């Protein structure tokens, strides 16, 4: 058998909660359940039985007595009296509810924080350190490859870049560095077709002359220099005379 209990609190003035409880549980067990609900520890709690108009009928004791033995009815009003609200989060919650809480500035002890094994700082030391180390090594490798590749290139040479599925061919027009990209050797190419991104300029500075959309910059090690004639789109098309009608 169960009955409804309407719960109020001495410190949490806006607290008003309804819950059904079995009649066979003890007052002590009820206190434990109300601890999780209100935040007041059971040892700091006194339970009072009130009537419907808020007058105190009696104190619920001893803790070993069942709710049925104490005399709770089908609808009972139980008031939680917190004997030491500062011993838990109850006083803080009450201040937040009333709007009177003034948050004090909290400054973390960074040295202690760094020593914590579960801190984000420690995680970064293990994981991001390796990430940035690998990233730096990749950049060094690219710088070296671009420098070696650029040594064998000359302005005016035919070249190819892009992908195997979508190759781009053109004429090498610039060898050097770009503003803000000084580490890598870049190659400026005037493409045979308008598959580029600009006319030979980068961030407002002109590096070579090309029609709009015919210019592109590539890292030196991503360019192949050699005998690359203009791509004939119809090169693989069959002659009409070979078609059997």
Residue 166 has pLDDT above 90, yes or no: no
pTM, rounded to two decimals = 0.44
Number of independent structural domains in the chain: 2
- Tens digits of per-residue pLDDT, 82-130? 888 887 777 777 776 666 545 454 455 667 766 777 666 676 677 667 7
Please state, in angstroms and as integers, the Cα–Cα distance from residue 15 to each residue in 38, 57, 78, 144, 234, following that order: 8, 20, 12, 70, 82
CB 77 within 8 A of CB 52: yes
Per-residue model confidence (pLDDT) at position 240 = 43
In a domain, 122, yes or no: no
In a domain, 124, yes or no: no
**Residue numbers of the domain that contains 203:** 137-234
Residue 179 has pLDDT above 80, yes or no: yes
Residue of higher predicted confidence among 237 and 149: 149
Residue 58: which CATH number? 3.10.20.90
In a domain, 126, yes or no: no
Per-residue model confidence (pLDDT) at position 242 = 38
């Amino acid at each position: 058998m169960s009955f409804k209990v309407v719960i109020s609190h001495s410190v949490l003035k806006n607290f008003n909660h309804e819950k059904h409880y079995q009649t066979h549980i003890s007052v002590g067990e009820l206190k434990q359940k109300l601890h999780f609900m209100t935040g007041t520890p059971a040892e700091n709690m006194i339970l009072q039985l009130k009537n419907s108009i808020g007058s105190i009928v009696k104190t619920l004791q001893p803790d070993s007595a069942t709710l049925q033995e104490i005399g709770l009815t089908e609808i009972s009003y139980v008031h939680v009296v917190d004997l030491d609200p500062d011993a838990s989060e109850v006083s803080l919650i009450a201040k937040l509810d009333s709007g009177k809480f003034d948050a004090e500035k909290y400054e973390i002890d960074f040295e202690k924080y760094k020593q914590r094994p579960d801190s984000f700082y420690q995680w970064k030391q293990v994981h991001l350190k390796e990430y940035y180390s690998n990233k730096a090594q990749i950049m060094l490798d690219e710088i070296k490859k671009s420098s070696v590749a650029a040594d064998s290139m000359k302005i005016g040479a035919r070249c190819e870049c892009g992908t195997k599925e979508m190759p781009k061919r053109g004429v090498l027009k610039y060898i050097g560095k770009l503003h803000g990209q000084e580490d890598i050797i870049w190659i400026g190419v005037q493409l045979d077709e308008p598959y580029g991104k600009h006319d030979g300029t980068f961030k407002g500075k002109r590096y070579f002359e090309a029609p709009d959309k015919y210019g592109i910059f590539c890292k030196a090690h991503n360019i192949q220099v050699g005998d690359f004639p203009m791509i004939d789109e119809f090169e693989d098309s069959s002659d009409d005379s070979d078609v059997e009608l």
